[in-house]
Structure 1
Amino acid sequence: MNVVVTPEDKNDIHLGKAVIHDLREIVDKTKLLRTDGARTAISIITASTNGSTVQNEKKKSSFSKDRKAKYIHEHLTDIAVATLCGKDTTNDCFNKACLDRKCTECGVRLLDFSDQELSDYPEAPTVSWEKYEYITVHNKRKLTLVRKCSKPYEMFAHFKHVLDHFAGHQFRAYWQNAQLKSLKENLPQNNCIVIHDYSENYACKERVEVQSTYFQRTEVTIHASIIYRHSVLELDGVEICPDDPCIITEHFFVISSDEKHDQCFTSKVQSLVKEYLDSISYNVNVFHEFTDGCPVQYKSRNCFDTINRDSVKAYKPIPGIRSLHQVLNSEPEKLTVRYMSCYSCEECVNGNYNMCTNNAIGRKGVVPIRPDDKGTIDDDDENDNEYTMSDLIVEGTVLALYTDEENAEFYLLRASSCPEKLRTSEVDDWGVSFRKNTKIIRGQYFKSDLNRSELSYKLIRRKQAIVPEASVIYISPQLRVNSRFALTLPETVHQDILSVLDEMES
């Protein structure tokens, strides 16, 4: 922990040095005088600066600094640790009850906040801060960073709420990463580790591109898998040695025109990985798959039942599916799961999960899988995180648009409605024509207001514009036009837009 010298402390230090300098001058001049007043002055100075008095003042100063220092933490981790009991010496980790906030002896209440930080009085200053909130767009929820202006109390109340879950989240992330490393170091024979993840959809563009094809680019999905396996003598030139295994790392990419990241896509990827391993004569008995928490992909309720079997049935949602971190085995209509993985004890590494000796991560549980006779295998209702850019565009949203004009970096438009598909051909007030079935956005352009500043804009209210939905390169839900129909673009947003343009041109 670092003790930061505050401006008040700096002033005190400077004042103390000045006082000592003045005392020296007074003593030097007074000690040469032989009057009663001079002797009285020397006595007062001696009494106020003797050892015991100075020591007491140092103790007071040290106590004051200690009170200030306890509010200062170098990392967010230090704050989280301050809300927990000590580590378990046996497992060298914090108690699970503390991480789950079920311990009565620790918690966020252990943190001390100053009166200014918890002030909600009318005279308290207003602070500007940001928090993530879910906003509903087209009946879908989107996690968005929202700016807040409030009293300090509201900001720190939210901070304490977030901190209440942070310690457990951080431990789980650290623990899962440690288990992956342990498994790689102790990978059993005929086992394989595969880490799956989707990349963003990529647009294909030609080297020499016609302008009319800019908004009609084909997009592809890139799925990346990292494979850890034992060496194969015929392929890698390294013989398998149980005492000194050679773990090979490979990257496996699947490129597809299917833009839907669902369990059908993931199932196909799994089969392709298996086909590849079969082609190199690597016999796999157990796959250890590590994925993210998206419930529409590898953590889909339907994917869970395809473990060890082929199934095309639809199943009802599994409560708390994001919190499941290890599926041990699958039986008819039920799964044996753990909310934390374990590959650090010898029994779990060898597949004897029922004999796990690690008690720090909680017990196993059985999750029922119930068929949904009325449902389909489509998991769209579970996906809260897959959104297109157009889902964020509503009336009043400020958009940055691509342009190839030399005298403009981009155009700004305030949307007057949600995106739509034209039912008939139309021409907007600027004389630009659009064909039927084109996906468009209606709105009003901004013009630069250089009289105010370089990043100031004025809304052109008299003309309605129509722009292709595909021309949108940046959306800022936080930007709003003021009562005078003016807008000042923050420098951070301006730089973000320019970075998007740089990526498009690279």
Structure 2
Amino acid sequence: MEFRKKLLIENEPNECYSTPVYDSISDVVNATLCEKVDGSHNLQCLKRNCSDCGVKILNFLPCELDVSDTAEFVKKLIETFPVHQHRATWQNEQFQNLVRNLPEKQCVCVHDFSENYRCSELIEIQSAYFQKTEVSVHVTILHRHALLEYDGVDSSEDFPEIITEQFFVISPDLVHDQYFVHQVRNYIAEYLQSISYSVETMHEFTDGCAAQYKSRHCFGDISQTSDDFGYQHFTRNFFETSHAKGPQDAAGGIIKRQADCAILRGQTQIRTAKDLYEYANSFLTQPRSHCKRRIFRYAETIHRDNRLSFKPVPSIRSLHQVRASRDSAKGLINISELSCFCVNCCHHMYDQCSNSIKTGGYTEWEMKREYRADAQENEENEEVSLQELVSVGQLVALYTDDDEEEYYMLKVEKSMETLRIDTTDSWGSLLPAGTPVFRGLYYNKTNSPFQYRLNVTRLPDSRTLLLRTDYFTVVVMTENGKFFKPQQKNLPEPCTLFGNPMVDPLKNFIVHFYGHSHKTPETALIFLSKFK
């Protein structure tokens, strides 16, 4: 808008009379939408399905159209921003409304995986910096009604008293998948049962990570919730992308920070996941905040015997609520683009939802088991966002057409971003504005065939990214700092890896180990594209 103001001053007033100057991005968005009805815009307008409004009615000055591709860039942003902002605001409002007006015998859980904790010691050798043992930390913020015998205060319908607790599951298992989340849910159900808190309806709020909470396999797990945990009703709700930050992030950070401080003071030694759990359970159960208490559980192994594999759900990335009920047929779920916790929905009268026009209503979907014959076809057809698959600190393999090297290893140092201006990377390669990229560090080959060095390597013009062992070839880092490349082979079942059962009994792998050494690296920009 500063550029437009300058143009208005420099040009004659009659030339720019019909071109307004907006004060904020909200004003720009509102100018491209129809008038609000009952305090909100129509959902079809927000999705840009309305013929009466849209980016097409946004006026630009001739001089603005001459400035590079700025106008087209702005139009592209305004095209998708309204519905994104609406979903983010709506989901947050529904969460706040549910917690404030939580009915009795209901419970709300906000789940999130904290960044893995890296074990350290007060005195350690220099090379230990590169071979730290990592620990999984899953955080749940739990909201429920108070119990007189357990919390010292009672809660009733007339005088509700909501208790907030932090629930942590610590494990040496570094695979963050639906099986891990299922075990977390099991620990929570056992805890609520142990304090005699009767739960008829469980509500969960999570981010949209496909591997952990929002995939066909996760939805299949939800369809079995009543049988697994005994709840009468269950909902899982998803915050909008990049809008899931909250107390759960701070809770995980505090635990890891306190553990590091204790190590620096010489009060404890934390070398394994068990050490972290014992320290936290001994010294960190009483928080200094509005949170009532912290509860810790330790999971030595994650049970993956019960295969949670289901057929795809259409348009799964656009869904923000999934419901399951004991009254529904087995395997049947209800899915919706947006959550709703109006008075009727809170009491399970969904056919009388007062916000059905705003949320788009519910659709029934039957979750069907996927068997070996169907697996390969569905994996090829399922759309998975690269932003959901790539995480900071992850080691991935970039496929190349280089005759000497089949792939390059990359350690992701920064989450995905879209370049706003033309950018040149460390080797002089120009990446145009609007390109989705992530930043990382490379491992290139040394003279030894199985040794890699953290270094700067110029990649050829390769655009294919290979991720996740269940879909693609990847390079994985073990706890002792070594790398292995999984390769699919027909091995006798059952098969073990490092003394542990394989994650997926239908896919067996052999491993090749890679040593590594380090040197001061430089960063680089890598193109992201669809899988090929």
What's the TM-score, normalizing by structure 1?
0.60
CA–CA distance in structure 1, aligned partners of residues 215 and 526 of structure 2: 33
2:404 counterpart of 1:391:
no
CA–CA distance in structure 2, aligned partners of residues 258 and 383 of structure 1: 24
Q: Is the 8 A contact 1:294 1:383 kept in 2?
A: no
Paired position in structure 2 for 1:476 = 524
Q: Where in structure 1 are there 5+ consecutive unaligned residues? A: 13-59, 120-150, 402-411, 427-435, 446-465, 480-506
Q: 1:115 aligns with which of 56, 62, 65?
A: 62
Q: 1:351 aligns with which of 336, 348, 353?
A: 348
Q: 1:170 aligns with which of 79, 85, 103?
A: 85
More helix by share: 1
Larger radius of gyration: 1
| 1:361 CA drift (Å) | 1.6
Q: Note the alpha carbon deviations across 1:52-110, whole angstroms, 9 max, x for none.
A: xxxxxxxx85x667545x1x323222221211101112xx2111111121111100111
Q: Is the 8 A contact 1:400 1:475 kept in 2?
A: no
Paired position in structure 2 for 1:80 = 29
Distance of aligned partners of 1:327 and 1:182 in 2 relative to their CA distance in 1, 3 Å threshold: same
Amino acid at match of 2:6: T
Distance of aligned partners of 1:339 and 1:398 in 2 relative to their CA distance in 1, 3 Å threshold: closer
Paired position in structure 1 for 2:49 = 102
Q: 1:328 aligns with which of 312, 317, 323?
A: 323
Distance of aligned partners of 1:421 and 1:78 in 2 relative to their CA distance in 1, 3 Å threshold: same
CA–CA distance in structure 1, aligned partners of residues 333 and 317 of structure 2: 15
2:315 counterpart of 1:317:
no
Distance of aligned partners of 1:376 and 1:219 in 2 relative to their CA distance in 1, 3 Å threshold: farther
Q: 1:243 aligns with which of 158, 177, 180?
A: 158
Secondary structure (helix, strand or coil) at the match of 2:99 reads: helix
Distance of aligned partners of 1:253 and 1:400 in 2 relative to their CA distance in 1, 3 Å threshold: closer
Q: Note the alpha carbon deviations across 1:386-408, whole angstroms, 9 max, x for none.
A: 3455437789999999xxxxxxx
Q: 2:108 aligns with which of 175, 186, 193?
A: 193
Secondary structure (helix, strand or coil) at the match of 1:295 reads: coil
Q: Note the alpha carbon deviations across 1:285-314, whole angstroms, 9 max, x for none.
A: 111001111122111212212222346342
Give the alignment of 1:229-268 within 5 angstroms. 229-268=144-183
Q: Note the alpha carbon deviations across 1:235-294, whole angstroms, 9 max, x for none.
A: 221111211201111111222222111101111111111122222221111110011111
Q: Note the alpha carbon deviations across 1:340-370, whole angstroms, 9 max, x for none.
A: 1111x21111122122122222121122323
Paired position in structure 1 for 2:363 = 365
Q: Is the 8 A contact 1:222 1:254 kept in 2?
A: yes
| 1:163 CA drift (Å) | 1.7
Secondary structure (helix, strand or coil) at the match of 1:205 reads: coil
Paired position in structure 1 for 2:338 = 340
Q: Is the 8 A contact 1:400 1:472 kept in 2?
A: no
2:201 counterpart of 1:204:
no
Amino acid at match of 1:74: D
Amino acid at match of 2:354: T
Paired position in structure 2 for 1:227 = 142
Distance of aligned partners of 1:444 and 1:324 in 2 relative to their CA distance in 1, 3 Å threshold: closer
Secondary structure (helix, strand or coil) at the match of 1:6 reads: helix
Amino acid at match of 1:324: L
Give the alignment of 1:359-438 within 5 angstroms. 359-374=357-372, 382=384, 384=386, 385-387=388-390, 388-391=393-396, 419=443, 426=448, 438=451
Amino acid at match of 2:146: S
Tell me the number of residue pairs that the alignment of Structure 1 and Structure 2 aligns: 350
Paired position in structure 2 for 1:34 = none
Distance of aligned partners of 1:208 and 1:367 in 2 relative to their CA distance in 1, 3 Å threshold: same
CA–CA distance in structure 1, aligned partners of residues 171 and 445 of structure 2: 26
What's the TM-score, normalizing by structure 2?
0.58
Amino acid at match of 1:173: A
Distance of aligned partners of 1:228 and 1:397 in 2 relative to their CA distance in 1, 3 Å threshold: closer
Distance of aligned partners of 1:397 and 1:261 in 2 relative to their CA distance in 1, 3 Å threshold: closer
Amino acid at match of 2:396: D
Distance of aligned partners of 1:473 and 1:280 in 2 relative to their CA distance in 1, 3 Å threshold: farther
| 1:5 CA drift (Å) | 5.7
Which of 183-192 and 77-86 deviates more? Answer: 77-86
CA–CA distance in structure 2, aligned partners of residues 400 and 413 of structure 1: 18
| Higher RCO, 1 vs 2 (CA within 8 Å, ≥6 residues apart) | 2
CA–CA distance in structure 1, aligned partners of residues 205 and 57 of structure 2: 36
Distance of aligned partners of 1:439 and 1:281 in 2 relative to their CA distance in 1, 3 Å threshold: farther
CA–CA distance in structure 2, aligned partners of residues 201 and 265 of structure 1: 14
Q: 1:294 aligns with which of 203, 209, 212?
A: 209
Amino acid at match of 1:353: Y
Q: Note the alpha carbon deviations across 1:89-148, whole angstroms, 9 max, x for none.
A: 2xx2111111121111100111111112223xxxxxxxxxxxxxxxxxxxxxxxxxxxxx
Q: Where in structure 2 are there 5+ consecutive unaligned residues? A: 229-305, 401-406, 414-425, 429-440, 459-513, 528-532
